[in-house]
Every structure is written in C-alpha cells, then in structure tokens.
Amino acid sequence: MTAGPEAPLAPVPGARDEPAAATAPVAPRRARRTAANPGFRSDIEGLRALAVGLVILDHALGWPVGGFIGVDVFFVISGFLITGLLYKEFRRTGHISFVGFYRRRIRRILPVSTVVLAVTVAVSSVLYFSARAHEIAVDGVWALLFSANWRFLIVGTDYFGQSSAPSPLQHYWSLAVEEQFYFVWPWLLLVALLLLARVRRSRSALIGSVVVAVLLVATFAWSVHQSTVATTAAYFSTFTRAWELLAGAALALVATRLTGLPRIARLVLGWGGLLTIVVSALFVHAGTGFPAPMGLLPILGTVAVIAAGTGTLERSTLTPLTNPLSRYLGRISYSLYLWHWPAIILLVTFLSVDRKLYRAIAVLLALGLSVLTFHLVEEPIRHSRWLERRSARPDERPAQQRPRTQWRLVGVGALAVAVAVAGTLAVQSTIRDAQATPPAVAQTPATTLSTDSDAAAHVTEQLQLAVAATAWPALTPAIDALPQSKAPELEDLACANDWDTIEQHCVYGDPAAPRTAALVGDSTALAWLPGLRAALEPAGWNIDSYGKWGCPAASTPVHALGADPYPACETHLDWVLARVAAQQPELVVLGSAEGYVDNLPSGATADQASAEWTAGIERSIRAVAGPGTRVVVLASPPYGKDLTQCATRSSPPSACLSEVSAQWQRTSAAEVAAVDAARADGLDVQYVDSHGWFCTAEGTCPGFSDGIVIRADTNHVTANYATYLAPLLREGLQVG
C-alpha cells in the first residue's frame, strides 16, 4: 500500500489454516483539515489503524475471529482515495498522467516492501534449512513482482501444499491484488471519463459512478460464485476482490453530492459504519461465502464511515478513529502491516507459539521495526525527488534541509543491514550452542525392521529415544529432501486419481500372483503403499490400488480443498466400491486421514460428526465385505509437524514434537464403532490401530524414529518409514 493523500491500503486476512495478511496505506503529511486543506481525513487515518489492528490481533492472538476483514477495509479506503485523486486530476487537466501516477505508486510502495522482503528472505536463509529457505525466496520474487496472490493461490490449491507452514511473506497477497487492480483501473477510468466528456461536467461523475456500479455488480456476482465453488481462489484472486476497491471508487465519484448531507445523517453513517466493521470482525468467518456475499458487511460499514466525513469541513466525531494514537498507528500502518507477519512467523523459531511472551514480543518487534522503517525509509523517500525529473518541478524545500533528507535515506540500507546482521549473529550463536550439545541418541539409519516378534517393541523403544533426543541424528531422508520423500505411487498420476480423474487404478506386484489385496482411500492411504508392497508382495500378493487425493474410504460427502464441494469424490468411491465388490479380493484395506471428521459438509460437530463418520465407514465395509473377503480399516498416522517447517538450524528435535490430537481420537473411535457394528453381523473385518507406530504410549509423536523421518509433511508417511514398518503391517494385516 502507499501513504499520503493517495494512500492505497491493502492489509490481508490471516489463514488460519489460512492466512493472510494485508498491506496498509501510507500516511499523509500531518495537517489540519481546513478549507485550504480539505483533502486530509483524520478519520480515514484512524480507519487504517483499526484495519491493521484487526489484522494483527487476528494473526497474533487468533481473535477476533473475523479480524482478517481489516484487509477489506483497506481495499475500500484505497479505491476511494486513489479514484478521487485520479478524478480530480482529470477534472483539472482533462487527462490523467499515467507516468506521474505510477511514479508516485513506486515511490510510496516499493522502498518499504523491498526492505521487508530483503530482511525476511535474508533471515529465513539463516534460520531454515535450504528447502524452506528456497520456498521463501521464491515467495519473495513473486512478492517483488506484485504477484504474490497468484503464488499463494497456486500453493493453496496444491493438494500437497496444504499442510505447509505459512510463508512469512504470505501477507503480500493483498498488496499484489491492489497493484494489479491499479495496473488496469486508471486506464479504464480514463476511457470512461473521455467517453463521458461530451456530457455536462456536472453529470459526468454521476454517470461515471453508474459505470463503476455496473463493474462492481459484475465482479461481486463473480465473487459470490467463486466463494461457493472455489474458496481458496476466491480469497486470493484479483477478480473476486475487485468489487471491494470499486466500492470505494464509486463513493469517490459521488463525493461532491454528499456536501448537503445533514449532520444527523453523518452521525448515523459514521457510528453505524464503525459498529458494522466491529461486528464483522467479531462474527464473520472465512470460508464459504467470503469474500462475497459475507464481505458486504465490512465493505458497507467502511463506505458508511468514509461517506460520513465526505463533503464537510466539520471535525469528525469518531474519536476512536481521530485520537492521536489511532492517527499515528494509521500513519505507520503500511510499515506495520508489512512487518507484523514476518515477526509472528520467524519468532516461532525462538519461542513457543503457546507462550504469551511470544505474542507480546512479536507485536512489539513489529511495532518497533515499523516505527524505524516509517521514519528512516518510508517518509524520507516519499517526500524525496526520487524518480522525479529535475526539471519537472522546483524543489520547494530550503537547501539546508536537503542534506538531512539524504542522510535519512541512508536508513534504507542501514535498517536492513542492522536487522539482518543482528539476526544472523544471534542465530549463529544459538547454532554454535546447539551444535556443542552432544547427541543423546546415536542412531544408524535403518531401512526395515527385523521380522521377529520383537518388531513392535523395537519401534516403541526407538520412538521413546527420539522423544528424548536433544540433538538431531543423521536422518534418512535428509530434511532438505523431504519434499521428494513421498511414496512414488502417491504422486503417479497414471495410477492415483487427482481432483478430477475418477476411474484410474494400478496393480502393483505380479498380476498373476495367487492372492490379491485392494487398497481404497485417500492420499494418506496411498502413502502406505511402499510398506504394504514390502509386506505383501514377497508373500505372493499383488495390490490393486484405488486411491484419490482428498477422498477418504468413508461413504460420506467431504470437502475438497478448503470448503469447496467435492462431488467427484462421491462418484469415484461409488465406482471403486462397486468394482471391488465385483472383484472379491481376499483382502481390502480401507484408509483415510484424520482430518475429515471435524470438517464435514453437513456441518455436524462432536457426537453427530462422529456418528456420520461411523456410518460412512460402515457403508464402505458392507459394500465390499463378503464370503472370502476380509476387510481391514487401517488407522491414519496421527498428524504431526512438518520437519521442513519446524526444524531449523538452531532448533532441537523437541521443536518438532507433537501430540495425538482429539480429532484423531474421535476419528479412531468412530472407525472402531463401524468395525464393531459390522463384526456383530458376522462380517470378517478388523481395525488396525497404527498410532503406536508413530507416537509413544503417552501420546507424544516425534518427527523421526530410528534415524528415519516419519512424515513427508504433516500427515503423509515417508516412503522410507512406510517400508520400515512393513513387518508391523504384515502382522497387523495377518498376512504373514
């Protein structure tokens, strides 16, 4: 975003899986609003503070639940301010200077955003192993090119990217949306104004606002559609966010018609709009229906607040927005927005997210960096002549002030270097301390367990040693190789069904083998294949694999990514169950991840959700069970931490410990209930509880065991560990 009278805003919502962040506008010179300076709006300055405050509270504290709507507030403010300036220029000169417009945008936006990008990427390269550091560097390139929203839209719709930790640069998506909008909007506005040039000037703004309204309605309708069928795309897309900026633009074009607004109407609009924004932050949830139509609430509230102060020289009565603290936070909101998310994400390396101290330090760190950046970088460059042609305008500042500005410009490099160097030295010191600690576990990477009866005991012992480890052993695969450590069968699109394909399957092992097993489930089930093949193929089995990403073995509707509907899953599973029932294999293995039971499209929760999951698993069991067919429900590996995210160059193994979740326990209990119901009717079915292969008896789950990394991300077991567990799979499936 930018600062100054044309200050564009763009803070982003937070992912709670998500999330998100946004950029904040840049502040104008301090001035009183008078007849000589009618453009300055202290209420808008305070509105920026409210917007960025909501975003930071949401990201740092997880409250209010709808704090991410601060981004929407910024979009409206930006559309109002920028369009107002463009329209005034057209009225004054008969044209719009695109060179001047983009020159101002670059001067206001690029310096601060580049400093934050450079520092974040530099610190990340020191903190993280190369896999994650590389991802953040790639994020930085997209952000620098104002394309971050498309980058995170792609990642957000990448099935295997869903479990990744949020990027410290994810909040740049909103800045990208805004700049993409302004790459097109000034040209469209000029064309519309030129076409209306023959209309009486007194009516051109009104007709122009009608044109904007048509665009607004069209983009709003598209946003409503996308918010229903593709929530991730709707959240990040410029096309689904354009209506929010256009709402501010429409208000700017009718601003002159608000001069006669009665005082009582201004009071109602101002306080009513402010209350609407607060209510939105408290009750609006991300997901289906956002950004449209649920985004209407904060958008209309913001329009009302801005309209209340438009067309009058009276001092605003909205003291929550116009007090000195709110106005100062509004002035630094651009820097504050850009710094807050890297501070929150990177600080996790040193402090536990569960500690209150972490949240306080993250906010204070962001605030301190923002103040420095605002005074040393943002303001000096914004008021400098950078990118100006020297002959374009005389320098109105006294000559003695120029050296001061030049020295302040040195702050651009000084601030970045100071933060990066200080962070580097601190981390390197921590790394030396960590490396000086002798490893508590001396392990040799293994590829498989022995096949004797002590296999389970060995796994249990190694898990306990891993939980107690104080230093990282040599790992297989290496942490930097984890993105490539999933089962090859899982990513083979000739066999695994992705989001759209429905009727693909593959046979592993000798097709003429005397015994056949069928595997049914989602990608978590497919991730077991290296272990299942090692357990079954040597014993004379082949495996017919029917897997589909995000499609569990339970016959019940589920979501695709986010809250998107997933009818292809139901179609696929119907086809699979019918085919397997006709095939009548000797063994059917049903596998699913743990994450469905708390996110069912029906909206069921607690016991009702468990009952729905039980019924879905039971339907699948009964569909394939029969004479000569034994069914095994294989429990999901409990979710854990992704080592590419939690393991840093300075962290001990304990940073990657996790606990068996209540969600896993509910899923397990529901599946056991389904198995018990089927067994009561005489069906040959059993439940294999695998959580002891991943976690200790106390429910603590390490990131590695016996020198092998357990998970490729948060839920897919690595091919190495699946193969390592082959003896336990053989025993559990009773195929020895």
Cβ-contact 522, 548 below 8 angstroms: yes
Residue 712 pLDDT exceeds 50: yes
> What pLDDT was estimated at residue 424?
42
Cβ-contact 162, 549 below 8 angstroms: no
Residue 77 pLDDT exceeds 90: yes
Mean pLDDT, range 416-427, rounded to an integer: 44
> What pLDDT was estimated at residue 159?
54
Distance, CA of 405 to chain centre:
39
Residue 416 pLDDT exceeds 50: no
Mean pLDDT lowest for which of 121-125, 138-142, 329-333, 480-484? 480-484
User: Which residue type is seen at 363?
Assistant: V
Euclidean distance between CA atoms 206 and 223, whole angstroms = 25
Q: Where are the alpha helices (DSSP H) in 196-262?
A: 201-229, 231-236, 238-253
> What pLDDT was estimated at residue 156?
76
Residue 93 pLDDT exceeds 80: yes
Residue 540 pLDDT exceeds 90: yes
CB atoms within 10 A of CB 31: 12
Render pLDDT for 435-444 as a digit per residue (tens, 0 to 9): 333 333 333 3
> What pLDDT was estimated at residue 355?
72
Residue 446 pLDDT exceeds 90: no
Render pLDDT for 302-340 as a digit per residue (tens, 0 to 9): 999 999 999 888 888 999 999 999 999 999 999 999 999
| SS3 call for 559 | strand
Residue 75 pLDDT exceeds 70: yes
Residue 588 pLDDT exceeds 50: yes
Render pLDDT for 95-111 as a digit per residue (tens, 0 to 9): 999 999 999 999 999 99
Render pLDDT for 45-72 as a digit per residue (tens, 0 to 9): 999 999 999 999 999 999 999 999 999 9
> What pLDDT was estimated at residue 565?
82
Tell me the backbone φ, ψ of residue 422, rounded to 5 degrees.
Answer: -60, -45
Residue 411 pLDDT exceeds 90: no
> What pLDDT was estimated at residue 83?
96
> What pLDDT was estimated at residue 203?
63
Residues 6+ apart with CB under 8 A from 463: 694, 695, 696, 702, 705
> What pLDDT was estimated at residue 161?
59
- Residue 476: strand pairing partners: 708
- Residue 589: strand pairing partners: 519, 632
Q: Where are the alpha helices (DSSP H) in 145-171?
A: 148-156
Tell me the backbone φ, ψ of residue 37, rounded to 5 degrees.
Answer: -135, 65
Pairing mode, strands 685-688 and 704-705 = unpaired
* Mean pLDDT score of the chain: 85
Of residues 518 and 161, more confidence is placed in 518
Place of tokens 């699979």: 576
> What pLDDT was estimated at residue 499?
65
Residue 374's pLDDT band (boundaries 50, 70, 90)? very high
DSSP label of 699 = S
Euclidean distance between CA atoms 610 and 594, whole angstroms = 12
Rounded to whole angstroms, the maximal C-alpha distance in the chain is 96
Give me the domains of the chain, ranges plus CATH numbers. Answer: 42-200+319-388+397-425 (no CATH), 487-637+659-699+715-733 (3.40.50.1110)
Mean pLDDT, range 627-637, rounded to an integer: 96
DSSP label of 376 = I
> What pLDDT was estimated at residue 13?
32
Render pLDDT for 166-194 as a digit per residue (tens, 0 to 9): 899 999 999 999 999 999 999 999 988 88
Residue 152 pLDDT exceeds 90: yes
Mean pLDDT lowest for which of 97-106, 146-155, 415-424? 415-424
> What pLDDT was estimated at residue 704?
98
Q: How many helices (H) and strands (E) does the chain have?
A: 27, 10
Of residues 198 and 24, more confidence is placed in 198
Cβ-contact 66, 280 below 8 angstroms: yes
Mean pLDDT lowest for which of 351-360, 454-463, 569-578? 351-360
> What pLDDT was estimated at residue 18?
31
> What pLDDT was estimated at residue 17?
31
Residue 131's pLDDT band (boundaries 50, 70, 90)? confident
Dump strand ranges (E) for 606-647: 630-634
Angle at 210 between CA 204 and CA 211, to 5 degrees: 90
Render pLDDT for 1-58 as a digit per residue (tens, 0 to 9): 433 333 333 333 333 333 233 344 343 444 444 433 456 799 999 999 999 999 999 9
Going from the C-alpha of 733 to that of each of 333, 401, 535, 588, 727, the distances in angstroms are 59, 81, 9, 10, 10
Tokens of 288: 């289906």
Of residues 394 and 336, more confidence is placed in 336
Residue 122 pLDDT exceeds 90: yes
User: Which residue type is seen at 209?
Assistant: S
Residues 6+ apart with CB under 8 A from 221: none
Going from the C-alpha of 635 to that of each of 159, 457, 589, 609, the distances in angstroms are 21, 19, 10, 18
> What pLDDT was estimated at residue 39?
60
